[in-house]
Amino acid sequence: MNLNFLKKYFFFLFLVYTIIGCSSNEYRWQSSQLAINNSYKLKTGDIIVKDKLLTDPLSWLGHSSVMISDNRIGDFPMPGKDYYTISVNAWLNEPSRKVIVLRYKHFDKAFEKQFLKNIQTYGYGKYRTSFFKKKDSDFYCSKFVWFLFYKTAQDLGYNLDLDSNQGILIFPYDFLNSSDLTQIIL
């Protein structure tokens, strides 16, 4: 076999894996409109995972972000775009999308205080993919979310890894099988 063929073969397998993705069936996808109507139930630290849109290659991996206050989202939206904050209602305003809202089971006042400090420290820059999950400067949507929780727990003296498959990259759907997160039904 030639090397070029092997590269193409493994790239194809990678694409199939990331497009199909695996997640638990115990979660119930909800409409983004329902999430908007019930946004008053959302809290700082909630993780919102948007479903995949097969018609849009940029969404084939899903999308995720985190509530940085009770009504704002912090997001790394796509390659080449800067980190930004937006109201949760504007971020959710995609009628064709479904969402799952997840909450960390141990998000108490001490965790929230450090979490907000880490948002101030790491919420900057442009979207950059990195194969180093613990690197504190290269972020994309789900790595930013993962890193905030990882770093906050480290700062508080314990380990936390919300990546359910322990891969080298963190994808939005990797949060769905984390035993440390529970779904919030809106």
Q: Cβ-count burial of 60 within 10 angstroms (0-12 exposed, 13-18 middle, 19+ buried)? A: middle
CA distances, 37 to each of 29, 46, 47, 92, 98 (Å): 15, 16, 17, 10, 14
- The hierarchical CATH code for the domain 3-184 is 3.90.1720.10
Q: Cβ-count burial of 121 within 10 angstroms (0-12 exposed, 13-18 middle, 19+ buried)? A: exposed
How confident is the model at residue 151, as a pLDDT? 98
Quote the crossing angle between the two packed helices 141-155 and 109-122, to the nearest 10°.
130
Confidence of residue 93 (pLDDT cuts 50, 70, 90): very high
Domain positions in the chain are 3-184
CA distances, 138 to each of 47, 63, 97, 133, 152 (Å): 19, 17, 27, 9, 17
Among candidate residues 12, 26, 21, the one with its CA nearest the CA of residue 53: 21
Among candidate residues 70, 69, 49, the one with its CA nearest the CA of residue 59: 49
| Residues 6+ away with beta carbon under 8 Å from 122 | 136, 139, 144, 147, 148, 151
Full-model pTM: 0.84
In the 8-state DSSP scheme, what is residue 127? B
Confidence of residue 178 (pLDDT cuts 50, 70, 90): very high
Residue type, 155: D
Confidence of residue 40 (pLDDT cuts 50, 70, 90): very high
Express each pLDDT in 1-20 by its tens digit: 555 544 444 444 344 444 44
Q: What percentage of the chain exceeds 70 in pLDDT?
A: 84
